[in-house]
Amino acid sequence: MRKFGLLMSLFFALIVALFSPIAWAAHAYGQFGDVKYPANFQHFDYVNSAAPKGGEITLVPPTRLSNFDKYNPFTLKGSAPPSLNGLVFETLLTGTMDEPTTAYGLLAQDVVLAPDRLSTVFTLNPLAKFHNGDAVLALDVKHSFDQLTSKEAAPQYRTIFGEISGVTVLSERAVRFDFKRVNAELPLIAGSLPVFSRQWGVVNGVRKPLDKIVTDTPIGSGPYRIGKVNFGKDISYERDTAYWARDLNVRRGLFNFDRITYKIYKDNTAQLEAFKAGEFDFIQAFIAREWARAYSGRQFDSGVLIKKELQHGNAGDFQGFQFNTRRDKFKDVRVRQAIALAMDFEWLNRQLFYNAYTRVRGYFVGSDFEAKGKPTADELTLLEPLRALLPAEVFTQAVPQPPVTSLEPTSGHTLRDNLRQARDLLAQAGWTYRDGALRNAKGDVFSIEFLDNSGSMGRVVTPYAKNLEKLGMAVNYKVIDYAILQKRLDVFDFEVISNRIVGSEAPGTELLERFGSKAADSEGSSNVMGLKSPAVDALLDRIMSAKTRPELVVRVQALDRVLRHGHYAVPHWYSSVHRVAYRAGLFEQAAVTPRYYQPEAWVTSTWWASPANLVAHRQVSTALDVKKAP
């Protein structure tokens, strides 16, 4: 019977392909035509559709966030609470954890791509409702787009949605997105639009500008609402028992906890001690020394706390000390390369990291998109028109690798050898050692400041600084509060910052925000390096127009090659596993682990409460009800 149904589905799909005037009409959209789940699928493979609802989980954000001061995640100024966007707001389409370039209908029940591929029509699910009970309508979609692409929103949204020329309301529940050019990713970009109610920020019939909506309670359509809040410190999200999509296949078995709470701590030490003391249930570890030495003791030995290294198929994250090339001292590539030569990763890995890390090589490490060796014929075809904009070595040499240090004195790769090479590069760039410091022709001393918010990078910067000081540089390591750091990053008021970029299995439009020239001048953008390169812009344009995954792979490899020849960062390190710890006996998870996931999102969306957790949660809720009773 199932085989017959499959044959009929294929038959009707063929009829649609042959006679329909549309390029794509379905419950989902695949950038390269690959859609895993059929129209009437029951649930995603990595969830338990029968998972019970109830219980709670308390965790900490896997970011540098140290406080929050608003409920609006879409504006530049201030910090929003963790997971607000994902738990409270929803999008037209939703991605999965087992497909990198496909998304399925959520607020939209179907997506139709025009024959010329220059527009997409979404039809909204008639069940979709906001938390205030209003239906989600096409007018809300257009309102959300207009607000997010206005100057009142954080500027990165204008970059993300920059290839969308406009949104037109066709009917009460149909909306069309028009594109500036053919780009197979654009229907996914349009489908990723966060949708919020037109009533959000309306007071006495007057709508506030988006950047004036600060602490107004969000009106979204997601599975959770904001619950109890210790403003600036802790926040709880309460599951909406009337959630409109609770029986939808893309939501079945997901978002099972009645309450998700985030606690925020000022530093890593306080956070870890709080975890051991039972203040929260789940944590992701990012520091190898802590993982090896501090995640230990009686509670771990007895099994009260569980420590695990989780396998995943994610592309490797990029992490490194990124230069602000808006500063004159960092404009010369030889200076940037020299500074990178002073880092002794092998020593750091042995002495500080317990050999737990692998060196980051490029911007797409561990994925198909990572450039390797000399450029391939396909890469050269892309790069040749850009020859006048690129150094000759891009075409003739193997892609640059991070420097290595050897303990063998005759290897030619000792730290001393690397520092000699760095000295020569600095001299070529006009910086020489005299009068006790590295100076330029004007006599200015070369100084370099590393900014940090937690102090955790101090043990890395300290030995690194000693190497840089051997070159005559004056090094300053400054620790500031996260909120101040974020403000300085937003206006690019820094010299060097340690930055992590989560890897992607399908790089695309976000690269414009990260490496595009236009983003370099947009406050709050992800182009913290200030990268302005016509060659990079041209490659980004080719990436946006990729029609097949092989085309995308080659074009991103060419981009990786060009970026690495630019030496815009000092590559750090990455781990091939997620390191997590959690309280035993409180949670259960599906038998199938997804391939692509970040631990926090996987846990909050797919795990569920154990019977013990449900009982404890019920007892607490009952006690609170009794306390509230008159």
Res 556 pLDDT > 50: yes
Asked if residue 252 and residue 196 are part of one domain, the reply reads no
Sequence length of the chain is: 630
Does any domain span residue 4? no
pLDDT band at 150 (very low <50, low <70, confident <90, very high): very high
- 244-248, 433-437, 624-628: segment of lowest average pLDDT: 624-628
pLDDT band at 14 (very low <50, low <70, confident <90, very high): very low
Q: Residue 116 is which amino acid?
A: D
Task: Using alpha carbons, select from 104, 111, 569, 601 the residue that is nearest to residue 325.
Answer: 569
- 12-21, 248-257, 379-388: segment of lowest average pLDDT: 12-21
Asked if residue 402 and residue 425 are part of one domain, the reply reads yes
Percentage of the chain beyond pLDDT 70 is 94
**Residue in this structure with the two tokens 């950047």, named with its chain if needed:** 211
- 97-106, 165-174, 376-385, 450-459: segment of lowest average pLDDT: 450-459
Residue 121 DSSP one-character state: E
Does any domain span residue 587? yes
Residues 6+ apart with CB under 8 A from 41: 249
Does any domain span residue 21? no
Task: Using alpha carbons, select from 158, 584, 204, 565 the residue that is nearest to residue 396.
Answer: 565
Asked if residue 198 and residue 124 are part of one domain, the reply reads yes
For residue 243, how far is the Cα from the chain centroid? 27
Q: Region 405-409: what's the mean pLDDT?
A: 89
Percentage of the chain beyond pLDDT 90 is 84
Task: Using alpha carbons, select from 395, 378, 375 the residue that is nearest to residue 386.
Answer: 395
Asked if residue 589 and residue 517 are part of one domain, the reply reads no
Does any domain span residue 11? no
Asked if residue 94 and residue 199 are part of one domain, the reply reads yes
Res 20 pLDDT > 70: no
What pLDDT, on a 0 to 100 scale, did the predictor assign at position 75? 96
Residue finishing a domain among 161, 186, 219: 219
CATH number of the domain encompassing residue 426? 3.10.105.10
List C-alpha distances in Å: 556 to 537, 541, 546.
12, 11, 10
Asked if residue 31 and residue 140 are part of one domain, the reply reads yes
**143-168 residues labelled b (16+ CB within 10 A) or e (exposed):** bbbebbbeebbbbbbbbbbbbbeebe
pTM of the complete model: 0.87
Res 495 pLDDT > 80: yes
Does any domain span residue 385? yes
Asked if residue 287 and residue 207 are part of one domain, the reply reads no
Please give the tally of structural domains in the chain: 3
Task: Using alpha carbons, select from 221, 252, 237, 236 the residue that is nearest to residue 606.
Answer: 252
State the average pLDDT for the chain: 92
Asked if residue 260 and residue 395 are part of one domain, the reply reads no
Q: Region 509-533: what's the mean pLDDT?
A: 94
Asked if residue 614 and residue 483 are part of one domain, the reply reads no
Handedness of CA 396, 511, 82, 613 (dihedral sign): negative
Asked if residue 418 and residue 468 are part of one domain, the reply reads yes
Asked if residue 586 and residue 470 are part of one domain, the reply reads no
Ramachandran class of 54: left when φ > 0, alpha when ψ lies in -120 to 50, beta otherwise: left
Residue 402 structural domain:
318-574
